[in-house]
Amino acid sequence: MWKGVVTFLSFGKFMGGFFFHGWGGDGREEQLLEYVLENAERGNPQSVIQAVDEFARSGTWFMNVGEEKGRILDSSIAKKNPQLVLELGTYCGYSAVRMAANLKHPDSKLISLELTPHIADIARRIIDHAGLSSKVEVLLAPLSRQIDTIKSTLAKTNGQCFDFVFVDHDKDLYLPDYLLLKEKGLIDEGSVIFADNMGFPGSPKFWSYIQSHPQELETEVHKSAVEYISWIRDTVTVSTFHKL
């Protein structure tokens, strides 16, 4: 129980830092990197994932997708078996490692977008420690400013659109970025849109769109807990895109 209280206090402190910086701002990301480099086996993605979870469970909260929702993500990746993946919201690279480790195609690629250079550097080092740098490219700036770069990268893999999109960034951008992906042809029939934190803190506009467009977004709803705080409930949605 005491560890849970410490984690919740760490969560509150993080949210204060997030308001001002867009990340924790209290050194926790640097501490996580140091812990991973010292404790995770190099070239072993599962060891890296375990190290991040261990550090987060120790009382320092992180906005990773976490263990419970991570298993839902693993299952969705395995079911779709994508070649090309887009991640909106890299943070420290936990979900990128989790997804890239399960990409089976020889030419598979994961493009991940992060706004903060300092955090992107930490993510790249964690991804590299997991041995996945060849599969993952971390780009800076929002989706709206990376369309040409993304299309160029896809062209190098003989791809035109993403099979799987993991959405875990600014909740106000869930719907605009989804609509941008659709407008630019970066998703196609059968593409999967996995949206984290649809219950807490939630993305009302994207949720409303899902509910009002059931033929376009065929959606499964999964109830879960917030990462590393079991008594705060959350929801993830897994939607299959259909061209109408």
pLDDT tens digits, one per residue of 150-203? 999 999 888 899 999 999 999 999 999 999 999 999 999 999 999 999 999 999
d(CA 208, CA 148): 29
Q: Is residue 56 part of a domain?
A: no
> Each residue of 78-129: pLDDT tens digit?
999 999 999 999 999 999 999 999 999 988 999 999 999 999 999 999 999 9
Structural domain contains residue 176: yes
**Residue 142 is assigned to a structural domain of this protein:** yes
At 87, which CATH number? 3.40.50.150
Query: Positive or negative CA dihedral for 202, 206, 211, 217?
Result: negative
In a domain, 108, yes or no: yes
* Token duo for residue 240: 């299959």
Residue 123 within any structural domain of the chain: yes
Q: What is the mean pLDDT of the chain?
A: 91
As for how many domains the chain has, the answer is: 1
Question: Which stretch, 1-5, 78-82, 225-229, has highest mean pLDDT?
Answer: 78-82
- State how beta strands 229-241 and 187-195 pair: antiparallel
- Asked if 241 and 179 count as a contact pair (C-beta separation under 8 A), the reply is no
Range of the domain at 235: 64-241
Would you say residue 19 lies in a domain? no
Rounded Cα distance between 226 and 65, Å, is 8
Q: Which residues are catalytic?
A: 168, 171, 196-197, 227
3-state secondary structure of 46: helix
121 within a domain of the structure (yes/no): yes
Can you count the helices (H) and strands (E) in the chain? 9, 7
Strands 109-114 and 217-226: unpaired
Domain membership flag for residue 46:
no
CA distance 202 to 172: 9
